[in-house]
Structure 1
Amino acid sequence: MGQTNKSKTQLLTIASFVIGIAVWFAMAKIPAIGAILTDPVTIVKSFWTELTSGRLWQNIYVSLFRVLGGFSLGLAAAIPIAFLMGWYNPIRSIVEPWIQFFRTIPPIALIPLVIVAQGVGESAKITVIFVSTFLVMVISIYQGVRNVDPTLIKAARVLGARDRDIFFEVIVPASFPYILIGVRLGLASAWTTLVAAELTGASKGLGNMIMEASLYFRMDVVILGIIVIGVIGLLMDKGVLYLERRLTGWQELRK
């Protein structure tokens, strides 16, 4: 039964992809739309041209470096701060209002300040992505800490567990699924912020490739850059989902 459902899901996914490509072809044939939405065949040709020239690989590498750099720093900061907020009320009272305040500010609004403070080097781009991913992940992980079943904590105290033991043996494992959710949201935020981050004087990168192509109305390259960002982001998300299934399988057993 499970195998049958899996096969149906795969067939639906393939059908959705085929229908999407067909609709894309049809829309590209409409003159008013086709001037902007280049057809898939032209996109494939542009992909091959950019790939064989080496420019695409270079842009992918540079953008990956920025995304993973900002995301890694954001995750490293989000985990301890989220746990401290969830575990200690005074820290939550001090930190949470500021996080909620900055969370409402678009990362692109910080670009002028970042440029003045750090110039237009790699650190400026990584900083913009760091801020975006940190604010997304810290809230998600914090909610995970707050949503830990109080019964588990009470049971641990009855058995004589100390605060340190409760934190590492109850709070952290119970919050782990929320950490993975935060990672998924953080990666998505990193990629959506990439183009804004590369506004800080970038000469390479997928966001820069899209912006340069738009200046010369090379819509095939613009759409190619958008597709590449989407594909890489999707593959990263699938990777985190795979880890989630492998590392949180114990939750299904509990159910």
Structure 2
Amino acid sequence: MNGSVARRFLLGLAPWVGAVALWYGVRWSGLVNESLIPAPHQVAAKFVELLLHEGLLIDIYASTRRVFLGVTLGIFAAVPVGFLLGWYRSARTFADPMINFFRALPPIALIPLVIVYFGVDEVAKLVILFYASFFSGVIVMYEGVSQITPLYIRVAQTLGAGEFEIFRKVIIPLTVPHILTALRVALGVAWATLVASELIAAQRGLGAMIQNASTYFLLDVIYVGIICIGVIALIMDLILRKISARLLAWQERAIA
């Protein structure tokens, strides 16, 4: 058992070691000016400096809070809409073109309109993140729900289950995996949209930190911001995967 855990740990660690080695290799290869690629140890030192003296934790909290609120609100709206589109073919036929039209619009293109209608306060940033989360969540939900086989419902009806019981004991459990998948996708899209949302006069946040650093060509700060976004997004995704594994344990038992 211990050998298996160690093997998994080493397999998980290997890509990160390889990435750092490649980073050093590109920097020392001479193919790129060394001043344009700060070394990993320099970025680590800047991270410690920002953490201890520049309020990096405040930036991390501000960005994480925005993403969490934007994704939560977006998924709460996306789940019922996606379910209706996936379950009722007529609703999907009616709304699918419009959903795909808005999904294709990049959130950054909407920033001028968001500023006009919502100002430059926190609400404007949440609107951008809500927009990105909602449409990505709707697509995942209705694609998943539309593929649910009606066989389970027919079996439940044959066994004498009423409509409410079918909804509670059949439809909801079959929908939960798609809700969790929509949440994971929306979370990734929201983090990808974070920098765009913090273009709207943000004073704190990782996106704002990256934007300010780019103004003064502080590449090590930019690297710190990018890595922080990736690490936090990864941690949140791992937490969601753990929750999904616990909530969907019944699927493994059913398959077994």
- Give the alignment's TM-score, normalised by structure 2: 0.93
Give distance in 1, aligned partners of 2:36 and 2:153. 57
**Residues 2-21 of structure 1 mapped to structure 2, 5 A cutoff:** 6-21=5-20
Aligned to 2:99: 99
Note the alpha carbon deviations across 1:71-116, whole angstroms, 9 max, x for none.
1110110111112222333433333221111111111111111111
1:62 deviation in Å? 1.0
Name the CA distance, whole Å, in 1 between partners of 2:5 and 2:105: 41
Aligned partner letter, 2:193: T
Q: Following the alignment from structure 2 to structure 1, what is the Cα–Cα distance between the partners of residues 2 and 98?
A: 48
User: Residue 24 of structure 2 corresponds to which residue in structure 1?
Assistant: 25
Q: Does structure 2 retain, via aligned residues, the 8 Å contact 1:27–1:33?
A: no
1:159 aligns with 2:159: yes
Residues 240 and 226 from structure 1, CA distance in 2 versus in 1: closer, same or farther, beyond 3 angstroms?
same
Shift of 1:64: 1.2
2:127 aligns to what?
127
Q: Who is 1:142 aligned against?
A: 142
SS in 1 for 2:194: helix
Structure 1, gaps ≥5 residues long = none
* AA aligned opposite 2:125: K
What secondary structure sits across from 2:217 in the alignment?
coil
5+ residue gaps, structure 2, are none
Counterpart Cα distance in 1 of 2:65 and 2:190: 11
Q: Is the 8 A contact 1:145 1:171 kept in 2?
A: no
Q: Distance in 2 between matches of 1:184 and 1:127?
A: 19
Alignment of 1:118 with 2:118, yes or no, is yes
Deviation at 1:149, TM superposition (A): 2.1
The equivalent residue for 1:170 is 170
Whether the 8 Å CA contact 1:115–1:200 is kept in 2: the answer is: yes
| Partner Cα separation in structure 2 for residue 3 and residue 249 of structure 1 | 24
Higher mean C-alpha displacement, 31-40 vs 76-85:
31-40
The aligned counterpart of 1:247 is 247
State the alpha-carbon separation in 2 of the partners of residues 89 and 15 from structure 1: 47
Deviations 1:21-73 (A, max 9, x none): 12212222245242222101111111111011142011111111211111111
Deviation, structure 1 residue 199? 1.1
CA RMSD of aligned residues (A): 1.7
Alignment CA distance shift 1:34-1:221 (3 Å): same
Q: Give the aligned residue type for 2:27.
A: A
Q: Label 1:120 to 1:193 Cα distance change in 2 as closer, same or farther (>3 A).
A: same
The AA in structure 1 aligned to 2:65 is F
The 8 Å contact of residues 153 and 170 in structure 1, kept in 2 or not, is answered as: yes
Percentage of matched positions with identical amino acids: 42
Q: Which amino acid aligns with 1:125?
A: K
* Larger deviation, residues 42-51 vs 4-13: 4-13
Describe the shift of the 1:162–1:92 C-alpha distance in structure 2 as closer, same or farther (beyond 3 A). Answer: farther
TM-score using structure 1 length = 0.94
Report how many residues are paired. Answer: 254
Question: Which amino acid letter does the alignment assign opposite residue 12 of structure 2?
Answer: T
Give the structure 2 partner of residue 217 of structure 1.
Answer: 217
Per-residue deviation at 1:240?
0.5
